[in-house]
Amino acid sequence: MPLFGIDCTQSKLQEQERHLRANDRDFNLKFHYVNNRIKTSKYNVFTFLPINLFEQFQRIANAYFLFLLILQLIPQVSSLSWYTTVGPLMLVLIITAVKDAIDDYHRYKNDNHVNNREVMILIDRKFRREKWMNVQVGDIIKMENNHFVTADVLLLSSSEPYGLIYIETAELDGETNLKVKQALTVTSDMGENTQALADFDGEIRCEAPNNRLDKFRGTLTYKENKYSLDNEKIILRGCTLRNTEWCYGLVIFAGQDTKLMQNSGLSALKRTNIDRLMNVLVLWIFGFLIMMCTVLAIGNSIWESYKGYYFQIYLPWNQYSPNASFSGFLMFWSYVIILNTVVPISLYVSIEVIRLGSSFYIDWDTKMYYPKKDTPALARTTTLTEELGQIQYIFSDKTGTLTQNIMIFNKCTINGKMYGHAHNFAGQRTDITAKTEKVDFSFNSMADPKFVFYDHNLLESVNIGDPKVHEFFRLLSLCHTVMSEEKQKGLLMYQAQSPDEGALVTAARNFGFVFWSRTPETITLVEMGETKIYELLSILDFDNVRKRMSVIVRRPDKKLYLYCKGADTIVFERLNPSSQHLRDATTAHLDEFAGDGLRTLVLAYKELDKGYFENWQKRYHEASTVLENREEQLSELYEEIEKDLTLLGATAVEDKLQDGVPQTIQTLSKANIKIWVLTGDKQETAVNIGYACNMLHEDMSNIFIIEGSNSEEVRVELRKASATMKKQDQTENEVISIEQPKKPPILPEEHADGEYGLVINGDTLAHALEDLEVEFLKTACLCKTVICCRVTPLQKAQVVELVKKYKKAITLAIGDGANDVSMIKAAHIGVGISGEEGTQAVLSSDFSFAQFRYLQRLLLVHGRWSYLRMCRFLRYFFYKNFAFTFVHFWYGFFCGFSAQTVYDEWFITLYNLVYTSLPILAMSLFDQDVNDRWSMAYPQLYEPGQFNLYFSKLAFVECIIHGVYSSLVLFFIPYGALFEAVRDDGETISDYQSFALIAQTCLLVTVTLQIALDTTYWTAINHVFIWGSLAVYFAITFTMYSNGMYLMFPTSFPFIGTARNALNQPHVWLTIFLTAVMCVLPVIIVRYLKSELRPTFSNKLRHKIKQMKMLPPKQTISPLRRPSARRSAYAFAHQRGFGALITSGKNMRMRTTNVIASKASTLSNIDKQKM
């Protein structure tokens, strides 16, 4: 596996084909396949120190400070003591190492937890309970119900008939609906016979490890016969076994070779936009430093030639400095040491502390805590917090991220009457609240207690025996592919291929039409307490083309009926003309359902003539057995029988969004953030969710559906869409498209004339990404909303990389499943939703929380504050260090360019570590322009971060100018004030030590006043740190300059008595006051003029709040409704239905039915009492 960024398994990556033999470890060990142990941690006890230090010294600044330390150990060039550098450097290295060790320890604990899970392995013809990490390729393992699958295995046999199993793939793709896998007949016959399993010696040749979740190719050779293997016979690691007592599997891929881990990969090292800018600025500073040192070194050579040469009687040249030129060379390195404070190492310490503090704020935020799952928000990385305030593009998964993957039967229309609204005593509609009375289903002992409905009229219609209402629910309980299972006596559980069907069958169950069981030939219902068995004659299954399904049954009264449900546009075409009036009423109701963002399904039926059906059935059997054009012939027969239907009504199912999703998307859009949905769902489902989330709406100028089948068609569609949005002629748009240069250009921002949406599916997207990536991106960026559906995990990552490549924008990806991992790792910021859909995305993310709605708080509050604080920190930090360092530069012209320091060495050491560190940390950890509620209420406050308005190269130049100006004031005003100055008693104070003390005091007072001006949100901590640091400076200064310190350490504290002799003079304090005022006055004037002449949105809002004394608005979640004439077509599932499987009987097992009678009689008795 890859380790420390080094590919230790190059030979494994070149594996072309996998060859293995069941129950033969010796044979399989020859190929050196990895075992099932996973490792995502980077270090161990022995490798931590060398590798971590190697990584840290790859940072230019750390290597630079190590170089400085080496210089300081050379006496000929050292102008400062070595401890001034080694202390801060050690502090940085230790803090970073501790942080890295903690992060890696958490990864190690997660790995350990997974590796130590237990599973039954067939070893020496017996099953033994072993740890997951001991599983090897070729082992046969036993998996049990509700347990995670240990590795990628070939299904051999199961407790279900014909080797079927049901699995949930939430960990892989975020979907909680069940999927079916089936073993080969030759292996399923082994059942749970241990001896037969131990004797199994089949050989498998298959594809090498890869990350394709939906494809598998291989062959099984057993008893001289060869069997084809595909994805339907493979169970992947991360799946959960459901509704299957046990199954046995042969391990094909283990550990890092499993598709789950192949999709995880190694996280790329993520650096923030400010980090990248800092690297450039540090290079600028290095260049600036070299230039200053060169000027001073040349000055030293000139001074030594013209002054020092004749001054040797007082200042003799050292033996290692034979001439002026060599003296200048040595002075160059001496000044490199002295002026290194333009990039002090404490800068990186402070940045790490600020980021760590911002991460803790996210972890501690109770408003991002989800009590239902006891899940807090978690900052899984501490290095990206300020980039949360600069997001321009969000790429979101759908299932489990925007939606809960829960379908709710919300409303329906039956025979022209709508049901589903709550009503008051006067019969008027009322809003549904927590206090609204729910329909009481206690009369029905078979009802699902989780089902909720508010319209009591529907239950009354059922109870009075309305024939249309009964037929409506009879259709719902018959026309489906749901499987039922009695977990415990009287506890009925449904296994649905998708949650949509489960919701409809559950609704029928609660209203008295209980689907009880099925066989290949029958469906058993309990209708209003009476058990009825329907003969199942045919299932006309759903697929993406038909968009409907039908069943043909013989009722207990021997009549033949066809029941059909499907998309409104499809079913309406097949209605009998007599249903026209009812169709108009139903259409009006469908429009209202669509306005609420509900997914609709139209129900219809017809009675069949016995003779006609027998003829049709005969032709159907013939068509289903032909070898050529089978699908076409069956489709014609379906069309023939599914016509002249009688309309019953329609259902409206809510694809339950997570709480607050539409409001969150609306708020983020106001913050100038574009949201793209990248989902593996079918187009219809994805578009429905787009409407439900208010990403798409009828007021949009146009919604483009890009569905070309080749590159040329896609090109034409993209250019046509782009021309429409820019109001250009298509030929003009074609002319301006240029050939892509070798170096990817940054595409400029373009604006469309109106609001547009774009929808594209995975096959079309493949062409767009391969040949037309610039064309696609230009068109997509003109749209307010982009939805990419049916996309693979790789395509998700490619779309993110495309935006990163051509747009100078910060991206964020959010998802919940293993299929989102590549997208999460590709984006600048990866966010994992920690919910019911697994933890793979969370483990690969930078930040995680339980609900999508928390994203707006993460960005608009924590992200914005982090960016604002970091920018203010950097501006102030560079300013105070330029002001500090340039005083040395000016002093060089007055000390013969001798590399003498203008300040006391102890002041140089403590300036960044003690005197100025706490005030700037207080500002960087607590400052805010407006509080969190104002930040959420006005998303426009977020925009400055997207355009780098608070810190950029221009802002850095401003810091330099500000620092240079302050340094001139800080040097020349004290210099002029002390020139030939004397004390009150006539003693002179114009000596070097007094000047050094006054200059450093002026500096510290000035930078303290500056940070007080920069602080907009004052807390007690700010006051203590800012004014306390100034007090600490004077306390330390008087202590270090005292007689006692000099007597104990005469060489370390030479400034004896300087503080008490200089700071007791009034004109010294006047000098300090004048210097400080001259430094901060221009800042006050410039800021005032900016706020008056060019106020920012933040300035205006703060002024408005201060003037009106306004309180922040309370956040309320108001329901969003979109008036629409568009009906959302219903999606049954992503794949073809289970119809063929049901009618074959392969998924049926014998079950007891003795409970039916007792249940039915109970329901019937209660029903009679009600009547």
Instruction: Please check whether residue 524 is in contact with residue 531, taking contact to mean a CB–CB distance below 8 angstroms.
Output: yes
Of 826, 843, 825, nearest to 834 by C-alpha is: 843
Burial label for 672, CB within 10 Å (0-12, 13-18, 19+), is: middle
897: helix, strand or coil = coil
Distance CA 835, CA 397 (A): 14
Q: Which residue in the list 152, 257, 397, 541 is annotated as catalytic?
A: 397
Q: Which long-range contacts (CB under 8 A, 24 or more apart) does 927-932 make?
A: 927/865, 927/868, 927/869, 927/872, 927/1015, 927/1016, 927/1017, 928/865, 928/868, 928/1016, 928/1017, 929/868, 929/1016, 929/1017, 929/1098, 929/1102, 930/1098, 930/1101, 930/1102, 930/1105, 931/1112, 932/367, 932/857, 932/861
Structure tokens at 741: 């240069």
Q: Would you give the end-to-end CA distance of the chain in angstroms?
A: 70
Q: What is the 3-state secondary structure (H, E, C) of 39-56?
A: CCCCCCCCCHHHHHHHHH
Of 474, 482, 483, 549, nearest to 508 by C-alpha is: 474
Tell me the β-bridge partners of 786.
Answer: 676, 758
Cα→Cα distances 779→179, 378, 456, 580, Å? 37, 36, 50, 42
Distance CA 1003, CA 601 (A): 75
- For the CA atoms of 473, 477, 481, 482, what is the dihedral angle to 10 degrees? 120
State how far Cα 192 lies from the chain centre.
42
Q: What is the 3-state secondary structure (H, E, C) of 1036-1078?
A: HHHHHCCHHHHHHCCCCCCCCCHHHHHCCCHHHHHHHHHHHHH
Distance CA 866, CA 873 (A): 10
Instruction: Please check whether residue 459 is in contact with residue 511, taking contact to mean a CB–CB distance below 8 angstroms.
Output: yes
Sheet holding 234-235: strands in order across?
Answer: 126-131, 118-123, 140-144, 246-253, 152-158, 234-235
Distance CA 20, CA 31 (A): 9
Distance CA 392, CA 258 (A): 34
Structure tokens at 71: 């210089």
Of 56, 19, 130, nearest to 349 by C-alpha is: 56
What kind and span of H or E run contains 1029? helix 1020-1040
Tell me the β-bridge partners of 982.
Answer: 988
Instruction: Please check whether residue 759 is in contact with residue 706, taking contact to mean a CB–CB distance below 8 angstroms.
Output: yes
Query: DSSP string of 121-153?
Result: EEETTEEEEEEGGG--TT-EEEEETT-B--SEE
How wide is the angle at C-alpha 474 spanned by C-alphas 470 and 477, nearest 5°?
145
* Total residue count of the chain as it appears in this document: 1171
The amino acid that residue 577 corresponds to is P
- Alpha-helix residue ranges (DSSP H) falling in 345-491: 346-364, 456-463, 467-478
Burial label for 746, CB within 10 Å (0-12, 13-18, 19+), is: exposed
Structure tokens at 39: 């490792």
Is 929 tagged catalytic?
A: no
Report the sign of the C-alpha dihedral through residues 625, 630, 635, 640, in that order: negative
Catalytic site positions: 397
